Amino acid sequence: MANDVWVYIEHKDGDISPMSYELLGIGKTLADGLGSSVCAFIIGEKVDDLAKEAFYYGVSKVYAIEGDVFKGFRPDAYAKAASSLLSKYTPEIALFRATSQGTDVAAASAAQLQFGLCTDSIGLAIDGGKFKMTRAAFGGNYTVTVVNEKAKPQIATVRPKSFPMPAKDTSKSGEVVKETFSIAEADLNTKILDFMKSEVAINLVEADIIVSGGRGVGKPEGFKMLQDLAKVLGGALGASRAAVDSGWVAYEHQVGQTGKTVKPKIYIACGISGAIQHLAGMRTSDCIVAINKDPDAPIFKNASYGIVGDLNQVVPKLIEKFKSKLGR
């Protein structure tokens, strides 16, 4: 139907992260608000397994484009296929995850369709029949609500973990509508030569627990201790810009306006003062624990629990106590 809500299902080399289906829950809520249905759309070399999983998460219809040319994600191939589906069916709303792949396809598809999109949304709602997309601006100091009253579909990318995962029900199934879309290999611009897997086991953006360090950590070895705490908790290691710029820890760990935006359930900030540009990347975490020597550090104004003290004494104590309580 023309006012359906479509959700792009992200996958990579046949590797399916359950997180790919997280938007089906909010997609359903929006569709209910519009009196329509949530549908999934999938592009890939083979789509049947992905479609089956989408049915488990509550959609009854999956639109798909299959082909050898879609082995491995390539933005031009995927965006051309996606925009062909979106212009044929013109759903009311199309949602993508604000990951590298989701952003690449959403942006290129919107450009093909010649209109803008709202990126990295943290709130989505139907309000008086209108689709409202909410996102953070200026380092999270402001929240802006964006609408698109001129073009369809209204495209949004959604920050991972902004909405609860829908429940999985393996008894459900549905219909796969396969569309053909051909594009010649010679007409594509890119070729993937290799993928070098990161040694960092847990993806910062998807982590439920993050242990993060700032200027107060003082030295590269300090991050070893934070890494130990992260490991005990099954979490990921984060860092402030000051720590990254000092060369103590790699940029891939940076949280903040010029790093990653994260929304874990627990964020433990060690030796981080809480500069605006760092808060921008983590202030929506569910629970923030701050450890800092300076009782006036702005981080304490944003922390659920604050510990005024030397992290070199506090962190080893936390490691010891977590280990004994959790039996690790």
Residues of span 211-250 touching another protein by CB under 8 A: 233-234, 244, 250
Stretch that binds another protein, among 20-28, 33-41, 134-142, 212-220 (CB under 8 A): 134-142
Residues 6+ apart with CB under 8 A from 184: 69
Q: Is the peptide bond before 153 cis (omega within 30 degrees of 0)?
A: yes
**Binding residues for another protein restricted to 155-194, rule: CB under 8 A:** 189-194
In the complex, least distance from residue 131 CB atom to another protein, rounded to whole angstroms: 11
Residues 6+ apart with CB under 8 A from 277: 139, 241, 256, 257, 258
Element spanning 241, H or E:
helix 241-245
Using CB atoms within 10 Å of the CB of residue 271, give its burial: 0 to 12 exposed, 13 to 18 middle, 19+ buried.
buried
Measured distance CA(161)–CA(3) in Å, rounded: 25
Stretch that binds another protein, among 26-34, 59-67, 165-173, 274-282 (CB under 8 A): 274-282
In the complex, least distance from residue 206 CB atom to another protein, rounded to whole angstroms: 8
Residues 68, 47 contacting (CB under 8 angstroms) = no
- What are the φ and ψ backbone dihedral angles of 267, each rounded to 5 degrees? -125, 115
HSE-CB of 180 using CA atoms within 13 angstroms: 1
**Binding residues for another protein restricted to 29-58, rule: CB under 8 A:** none
Does position 151 bind another protein by CB under 8 A? yes
By CB under 8 A, name the one of 20, 37, 212, 254 that touches another protein. 254
By CB under 8 A, name the one of 68, 142, 184, 296 that touches another protein. 142
Nearer to another protein, 68 or 194 (CB): 194
Secondary structure class of 152 (helix, strand, coil): coil
In the complex, least distance from residue 175 CB atom to another protein, rounded to whole angstroms: 31
Element spanning 113, H or E:
helix 100-113
Stretch that binds another protein, among 27-35, 50-58, 61-69, 203-211 (CB under 8 A): 203-211
Measured distance CA(15)–CA(26) in Å, rounded: 23
**Binding residues for another protein restricted to 86-125, rule: CB under 8 A:** 99-101, 103-104, 106-112, 114-120
By CB under 8 A, name the one of 52, 71, 132, 231 that touches another protein. 132
**Binding residues for another protein restricted to 284-313, rule: CB under 8 A:** 287-289, 295, 300-309, 313
Stretch that binds another protein, among 22-30, 44-52, 145-153, 217-225 (CB under 8 A): 145-153
Does position 196 bind another protein by CB under 8 A? yes
